[in-house]
Every structure is written in structure tokens, then in C-alpha cells.
Chains A and B, each alone.
Chain A
Amino acid sequence: MLLGRDTYAKKWIIRPDGEEKVTGKLRYLTDLTAPGMLHGKVLRSRYPHAWILSIDTSKAIMTPGVRIVVTAEDVPGMNLFGIAFPHQPVFCHDRVRYIGDALAAVAADTEEIAEYALSLIEVVYEPLPVVDDPETALEAGAIKLHPDGNLLHRTSLKHGEAETAFEGCAHIVEETYFTPRQMHTYMETEGGLFVPEDDGRLTVYSPTQHGYKDRMQLSRILGMAEEQIRVVSSPIGGSFGGKDELNVQPFGALMALKTGSPIKMHNSRRESVISGIKRHPMRIKMKTGADHEGRLIAHQVSILADTGAYATLGCEVLNFATEHAIGPYNIPNVDVQGTSVYTNNGVSGEFRGFGGNQVIFSVESQIERLAEKLGMDSWELRKLNLRAPVDPGPMGQQIVQTEGANQVWSKVKESPLWAKRGKLKRGGESEEQQDQAERLQAEERDDKCEDQVPWIRRGVGAAMVMHGAGLGLGIPDHSGGRIELTPEGKIQASFGFEEFGQGLYAALTLMLQDFFGCTAEDIRIVIGDTDRVPSSGSSTASRATTMMWRALQQLKPPFVQALLQQASALAGLAAEELATGAGGIHRKGDESGMPVVTYAELAEAADAAAKPIIAHTEFDYPTTPEGLVGAHYLYSYASVIVEVEVNMLTGRVKVLQTDHVIAAGPVINPMGFLGQIEGGSVMALGYTLTEDAVMKESNYVRHNLDTYLVPTFKDSPHTIRVEAIEDLPEGDTFGPRGVGEIGSVGLAPAITAAVRQATGIWVNRLPISPESIVQSIDWLEGVEAID
């Protein structure tokens, strides 16, 4: 069903955290202040690669107003961090490997003094040659960035014999695709407040997607028990994967403990650009072959990922890319090889879509090219090769069956937008067909675009996504939750997940109402504070909604049983006659709407009996039974159709309309679901058309939003329509799947397919540069036309 306030009226609720946001009352963690606080600043490297010969902080510490200057020597515990394996220095002392490397930090009475003091720290460097390209990084003579060399990780996925199978193919397409270093560009840059408490504990108020993981990492760095650290981690002004790794926390925490004063830190946009993680740029070679009928026979893939100076989640992103490089297709002979390489470039890490965006762009582009070679409609080609519900997953693993793939792809055929494509045929056709297409295209020029002129061309394209949810086998994917009746008589749910804009409060509110039949007023939600919530695992990988739903399924029976037993004793009615509802426990079949026992009365009785009503659960994210590292068990599916307009004079591509069809199980929070897909779509629009954190000799060229161009209002499509396919096979116990990522994955190949249709130009490099469009035009043809 098309998502909107009318179609989902019942569940279209105002988000509980909305009013504070529209009035500006909400205090983000970077808005917090404390009496006597100091301002912290970090000295970053001058060079992307150098030996450090000396660091002299004596002048900085003498500056009036400077309270402390810290370097590697001051780190009491491990001077390293990293989600997957800790090897990124908190402070470098012998060598810097990228421009964001930290050497020292200062805390001072004002931000200005702290910044001034940074300029007084004298570092003597001996610059080293820069390794700025993943290919040269692997050459035999390349300078080693880490003791084991420049290779971070290799992956391999093989079925059949791809190499020999190409011999039997009627058509083969071979192409290399290039994808950009995309920046998360969350609006709130990294920062927070770090408070040393009177009892010796440390409270960290700093945005992160995984408070418990930050706590663990900080405990290692500070040489302090985890229980001595409290991490408050929500609300967050955007993250998209970018705040999952530690950023300013080690510096703020260390200086707070050393000075005994609260430390405030808040990165400038420039510092955020330099030190923050980015989406992995990848070079993906693909060779794909099909028989005369269009059956995919062989698929050979080589992925080269630039992971930058440190690993963070580089291995896991490559694993994901490797698994998804086949798309949702059945191909008997597959050979995927992945390589992730260290360079002196900015650190690449986790980003919405997690490596899927790069390979889906590539594999979907291959399908388009093959279809053209075959003289076949690309919809039909996909349909012919699409996986069936019973088929194993991309790694040959058992996966949870759904009809998703077929459902989302069938919807494309039914779409009016796709129907336009037939009328806009272009590229690889005879002149006569082209003329015919021109005429039809001219007819299409409706009032929506009054300024239609001959150098404006339109095209329609579509693409398909299969996206794994959860972290995949091999990474601990633990979750859990707690539910209790508070002394005030509220049903309180506590989870370790974070609210970074995705609408977790709203989703959980709706779920709780659904599970207990209660009202929003009966509910309390606690998240984002390690002192108050159980460990639920990270808010990543489209997993939070699924995990909350699963937790509630497990928590409901014991919790409701405890409530009803208590109510039964109070009301003198059998527990079987009772049910939870608005305001309290209701008698089944009673239409009055009045509870027989209120939650407040239950809480009072529980308190008097010293028998708190509470339930806990712990479990792991469901994984596939086979022991294949990286393999996913739950997948969601999406198709996307776009109409573009290409200005052949300026080379600019404008997306007019985007239709997304998403099969991810029941929609919990329609406003949130819609918003995630719309937002992911426009983020992917930036990825396709403008966004690239260009590096020259391992230095960032673009430091702010004047040159790094994310889509504005004017760039976003005129219409985004989102259709949700909610049904799951009978007996599916996994319920709703998360949709945080899937809307951002398939847009790029749909746009490039539409550009091909509009202009005849194949794009293999993102973002699509206007120059590449303009330079591809045969100007002589234009001159002749004028004559």
C-alpha cells in the first residue's frame, strides 16, 4: 500500500520526541553545559603520512587559560581504539597515517584559548611518501602503513566455475565501476560533555550508536572498570553509521578525569570532515555472462575497497559487499573476490547500506548492459533470473523465505512510471526507432516541465535490491530488553538502542500499544543511558525495530501474566477473565472502557508486596544455521523506479520522480518508515549526482558544505512515492524488518539506467559528473542539425 497519512491514518502518529524538536527545547548532548566546564580541542596531523620526531607542548601549557595539554603519554590504558579490532591510536606518538590523526588535546577556559593553544604545540615531522591509492598500496615496493602491510582483508565467494563457464556464454559484459567517498554529513557534528562525578565515576554525554560499546572501548583506554563509566548517548542529531565508531570521546573523557572538570567538545565542520569516517570508495570489476535466452551463467567480481588509514569496520563492510555482489539473482557460476586496503586517505567505515550501495550499483548496471546486448527488456532479464523464495541466499546459505523479491519486482511492471519507459525508448536502437522515440518523448512533455527544449531529454530506469539485516554471522549480534511496571503505574520499556532521528520512540510507542492494548499515556520509554538500560547491541544494520519487536514478543507473556495475577488478587476475578488495556487491567468483553484495576493500583500493590513486576530478555539476532562468516539470514527487498531529465548542454541530471517498493514485513510506524525511505532516497541522490569527498594526495579538497554538495530542496525529486509490501509467509516469526538502509541502496543504478535511456550514455563512475555527460555528446551532429 502506498504510504501516507491517509492510507495509514490509524498509525500515523506525531512522534513523541517531535514537539521538543520543533520548538528547539530539546537539549542535544552537544548543547549541554556544566558549571566550571572547560573546552576541549584536538590537534590533528599536518601531514597525511609522516614520522613524528618530537611533540613539544610546553608553550601551549603556559598559555593563560589553558588547564591541560595531553598526549599519548597521558593515556593510562590502551592508547588504541576501533570497533572491530583496536589499532587506531587515540594519540599518535611516532607516526601519523592520515590527516585526521590526533597528536594532542587541550582543555582551556574558552574554545578560543584552546584553539590558540593548539597553534603553540610544536611538532617536528618527517614527511613520508603518501600512499593515496589502493592499487599502488598493494604493489610490492609500497611503503607499509601497518606492521602486516597494507592489506586489511580479503574475501572470496565461489560457486561453480565462473572462469570456464564464460566459454559457454552467448553474451558477456565486462566493466569497471567507481564509487565515491561519501560523507555522512549528519547535521550535528561530533561532540559532547564529559563529567567527572564526585564518586569517582565518569559520565559521558556523547552521541553514539552503541553506548555499551563506547563504554567498553573507553574502559580500555582509561584503564577504568566499565561500571565506573556511564555513557548517555541519545538524542543524536543524525548519524547514518557515522557515529558508531569513537570520535571525540577518548579526548573528552581523558581530560575530564585528569582535570577533574567537565569538558565540552564540539567539532567544527572542518574537523568533522577531516577526522570523521566516510563511505568506502570502491573499484568494482565485473564480468557477467548469459546464454542466448538471457539466463545468467557466470559472474566474476573483483572489489577493491579503500579503507583509509585504519580498519574500523572495513572487514565487515567488505564482507557485506562480497555477499551482496550477486544481487537477488540465481547465478550458477560465481567468483567474487574482495580486497580492502590501507592507504593514507581518510578512514572509511560504516555508512547506511554498509557496502551494499557500491556493489548493487555495479551488479544492476551489469544487468542493464547485458539486457541491451541481448536485445531484451531489462525487466524481463531480471525476472528471468530472480531468486525464488526457496532458493538459498547469495552464499548458498539457508535464509528465511519470503516472496519479497518477486513482489517488489512485479510492482515495477505495474507502475505507471515504468509504463512511460516504453514510450521513451532510446539507446542502441535504429535511427527510425530513435525518431519514433523522439516523437513519443515530445508527446510526453507535459505541463510538469514547461521549459522543455530539445537539449532536455528524459528517461526512466529501475533497479532491484536484496539487503541483509543484522550484522551477519561471525559478529556478536546480541540483543535484549526489559519491561517493568514503574511505581507510578507506567509500563516502562528499556532498551540499549539510540534515537538518532529514525523514529525509535514512535516505533516503540506503537509497538507497546499494540502488544498491551494500552495508550501512549501508559507508556514510558528509556533508551540511550548505560546506567539505565540493558545491553541491546548496536543501533545499526536495520536491526533495532526487529530486535525491539522480538524482545516484546518474549517479554509479553511473563509480564502480562504477572500483571494479571496481581490484578486477579485485587479484583477477585480469575486471571483468564482479564486483559491489559488502556489505563489498566480490563475485564474481557467489558465495553465500558473502564479498567477493573488501574496500573497505578497494581504498582501500589506490587510495591506493598515487595514484588516488582518486571521481565527481562536476552537473545541473539537470528542467524543462518550454516557457519558462513558474514552470511545473513533475514533479507528485505526493494525496487526503485526513477524518471530523470538530462540537460545535454550543462550535463546536469535532475530526478523528477522516484518510486520505491519495499518488502520488509509489517509497517510498525508508517511516518517513520516513509521518512526513512524518502531520506535514504535523497541521500542516495547525492551519492549519485554530487557527493564526493575528493582527496588529493590524501588531503581532503572539500572541507565544508560549500564544496561538498548534499542535495538541497531544489535538488530533491518532485515526487517520491513509497509503497510497502507488508505480507510475510504464514508462520514467519521474525515480524517487521528494519528499513533504515534499504531506501539508500538501489537509487544509483536506477538513475544511471534512466540516464542511458535518455541520452545513450553509460555511466560507470559516481557521482555522475556533468562533464562526462557533456563530453559524450557528438557535437558534430549538433552542428549539422543547425545547418
Chain B
Amino acid sequence: MINTTYVLECSINGKAVAVSVPASKRMSDILRDDLLLTGTKVSCEIGRCGACMILLDGKPVNSCLLMAYQAAGKEVTTIEGISAGEELHPVQQAMLEEGGLQCGYCTAGMVVTLTALWETNPTPTRAEAEEALCGNICRCTGYEGIFRAVEKCGLSMKREGQKPL
């Protein structure tokens, strides 16, 4: 087997990391296997389900489709980097309060996508939310609880006058 080691240097959840991996290794595997950040899940491996969603320079991407070299020099945020220490992100809080999760296996990816939406468009219409979220599959909730969470975090943000991050 050919050993093509490559040093990936990027920022993960605000920390500079250098990890020695094959250049073609998928980001989802680097996160889960090399860095033990198992909050990022892998379910379909083809960018269809969104369980592996991370933020790359703030934009949601499927980490199963992202090769190591594509993340070089960029800022990666995983589910582990969404909450600020012990304090939950409003999206996480809303998901909890509205029953936006059941088995939880899609939840990390869902929260990552929702966070990106919340930062760009905190009070989306139903159609905008559908469009933003249609790359994330949930097999448990029927999406209703997640929509309630979308509404809730939009509304609560308005009410409390919070600003996007």
C-alpha cells in the first residue's frame, strides 16, 4: 500500500491543528478517527444525509465529501464547537425544548446546518428553512419538532434582541 502522508494544517473549533493524514482522507474520518471528535456522524457517506455536516469557514458542508487537502488553512467548526463552553447555542436549546430530536444521530449535523441558517437568516420563512435543511435527513422526528425549533429560535432571538454571532 502506498503511504502518502500529508500534514493537514487548519483550525478546528478555534484551535490550530496539524494532523498527519493521507491527502485524500475524508474530513469526516479525520474528525472521528484521528481526532476522536465523534459528534460528527457518518451515515450515507455520499453527501446525501447531512449527518456529517460541519462548518467550513462558516458554511455548512458535508465532511464526508471534504478531502483533507480541501480543508487546509481553513476554519472548521464541528458540533463540539457550536456551544460556548457549558452554554448551549440558541439552536441547541430550541431543539431540546421543541422535541427536535429523538435518536439523535442526525442531530449534530442538523444543529450545524441550523446554526449556519440562524447566523445568516434567523427568521426564515418555512420555504427558506426547507431549502436550507433539505440536505439533512432525519428518520425519527418527521421534521416537525425541528421546524418548531426553527420557529422558536427565530422568535426568541427577535424577542430577546439577540444578534447573530
Closest partner residue, chain B, to A685 (CB atom)? B142
Question: Within the assembled complex, what's the spacing in Å between the Cα atoms of A23 and B139?
Answer: 19
Contact across chains for A675 and B141 when beta carbons are under 8 A apart: yes
Alpha-carbon distance A704/B47, docked complex (angstroms): 11
Residue of B nearest to A269 (CB): B44
Which of A159-167, A332-340, A495-503, A571-579 touches B? Answer: A495-503
The segment from B65-73, B126-134, B155-163 found at the interface with A is B126-134
- A188 touching B44, Cβ below 8 Å: no
A240 nearest CB neighbor, chain B only: B139
In the complex the two chains form, what is the Cα distance from A720 to B145 in whole Å? 10
Give 1 or 0 for each of B92-107: 1 = CB within 8 Å of chain A CB.
Answer: 1001111101111111
The A interface is mostly helix, strand or loop, or mixed, namely loop
The 12 listed contacts between A and B (C-beta, < 8 Å) are A22-B107, A187-B105, A187-B106, A237-B105, A503-B102, A674-B99, A678-B143, A680-B142, A705-B137, A706-B44, A706-B48, A714-B131
Contact check, B38 vs A238: say whether CB atoms are below 8 A apart: no
Does B9 belong to the interface (CB within 8 Å)?
A: no
Shortest beta-carbon distance, A616 to chain B, in Å? 30
User: Is there contact, CB below 8 Å, between B78 and A24?
Assistant: yes
Q: Does the CB pair A710–B139 fall under 8 Å?
A: yes
Instruction: Let me know if B49 and A27 touch, CB within 8 A.
Output: no
Assess whether A679 is in contact with B96, with CB atoms less than 8 Å apart: no
Residues of A within 8 A of B97 (CB): 5, 14
Whether a CB of chain B sits under 8 angstroms from the CB of A235 is yes
Bound Cα distance from A503 to B100, whole angstroms? 12
Q: Chain B: residues with CB nearer than 8 A to chain A?
A: 1, 32, 36-41, 43-46, 48-49, 51, 78-80, 82-83, 88, 92, 95-99, 101-108, 111, 126, 129-131, 133-147
Whether B111 lies near A22 (C-beta < 8 A) is yes
Chain B residues within 8 Å of A27, by CB: 38
Measured between alpha carbons, how far is A189 from B32 in the docked complex, in Å?
15
Ranked nearest first, the 9 interchain pairs of A and B with the lowest CB-CB distance are: A24-B39, A501-B103, A237-B105, A21-B104, A24-B79, A682-B142, A501-B102, A678-B142, A31-B38
- CB pair A720–B144 under 8 Å, yes or no, is yes
The reply to whether B92 and A187 contact each other, CB–CB distance below 8 Å, is no
Residues of chain A from 16 to 71 with CB closer than 8 A to chain B in the complex: 17-28, 31, 33
- B43, B46, B49, B129 — most chain A CB neighbours (10 Å): B43
Q: B140 and A705: CB pair below 8 A?
A: no
Pairwise interchain contact A187-B142, C-beta atoms closer than 8 A: no
Residues of A within 8 A of B82 (CB): 23-24
Complexed CA–CA distance, A329 and B96 (Å): 41
Q: Does A671 contact B (CB under 8 A)?
A: yes
Do A683 and B142 touch across chains, with their CB atoms under 8 A apart? yes
Q: Is the CB of A23 within 8 A of B88?
A: yes
Q: How far is the CA of A678 from the CA of B147 in the complex (A)?
A: 12
Q: Does A343 contact B (CB under 8 A)?
A: no
**At the interface, yes or no: A186 with Cβ under 8 Å from chain B?**
yes
Q: Are B145 and A678 in contact (CB under 8 A)?
A: yes
Among A21, A235, A671, the one with the most B-chain Cβ atoms within 10 Å of its Cβ is A21
A681 at the interface (CB under 8 A from B): yes
Q: A24 touching B133 by the CB < 8 A rule?
A: no
Q: Which of chain A's residues have a CB closer than 8 A to the CB of B139?
A: 184-187, 238, 240, 679, 683, 710
Does B145 lie within 8 Å of A675, measured CB to CB? yes
Answer whether A22 and B95 are a contact pair too, CB < 8 Å, given A116-B1, A187-B41.
yes
B43 adjacent to A187 (CB under 8 Å)? yes
A501 close to B44 (CB less than 8 A) = no
Chain A residues with CB under 8 Å of B41's CB are 28, 187-188, 237
Seed contacts A5-B98, A187-B51, A501-B104; 20 additional CB < 8 Å A-B pairs: A15-B99, A18-B95, A23-B83, A24-B37, A24-B39, A24-B40, A28-B38, A31-B32, A184-B139, A187-B138, A188-B43, A236-B103, A501-B105, A672-B99, A675-B142, A675-B144, A675-B145, A713-B146, A713-B147, A714-B130
Q: How far is the CA of A458 from the CA of B45 in the complex (A)?
A: 38
Question: B115: shortest Cβ distance to chain A, in Å?
Answer: 11
Of the candidates B48, B80, B106, B141, the one whose C-beta lies within 8 Å of that of A704 is B48
B142 touches A713 (CB 8 A): no
Is A15 a contact partner of B141 (Cβ separation < 8 A)? Answer: no
CA distance A495 to B82 in the complex (A): 34
A5→B97 CA distance, assembly (Å): 9
B102, A710: Cβ atoms closer than 8 Å:
no
Beta-carbon contact of B44 and A704 below 8 Å: yes
Known: A189-B43, A235-B104, A706-B48. A23 touches B130 (CB 8 A): no
Contact between A22 and B137, CB atoms less than 8 A apart:
no
Nearest opposing residue in chain B for A112, CB measure? B1
> A705, B44: Cβ atoms under 8 Å?
yes
Given contacts A24-B78, A678-B145, A713-B133, contact A671 B126 (CB under 8 A): no
* Contact yes or no, B43 A15, CB < 8 A: no
CB atoms of A679 and B102 under 8 A apart: yes
CA gap between A20 and B48 in the complex, in Å: 24
Question: Is A647's beta carbon under 8 Å from chain B?
Answer: no
Bound form: Cα–Cα A713–B110 in Å: 11
A713 and B111 contacting across the interface, CB-CB below 8 Å: no
For window 576-624 of chain A, which residues contact chain B by CB distance below 8 Å? none
Chain B residues, CB < 8 A from A500: 103
Which of B36, B80, B136, B140 is within 8 Å of A501, CB to CB?
B140
- Of all chain B residues, the one with the shortest Cβ separation from A25 is B39
Beyond A22-B111, A678-B141, A679-B140, whether A269 also contacts B43 by CB under 8 A is yes
Q: How far is the CA of A239 from the CA of B104 in the complex (A)?
A: 12
Q: Does A716 contact B (CB under 8 A)?
A: yes
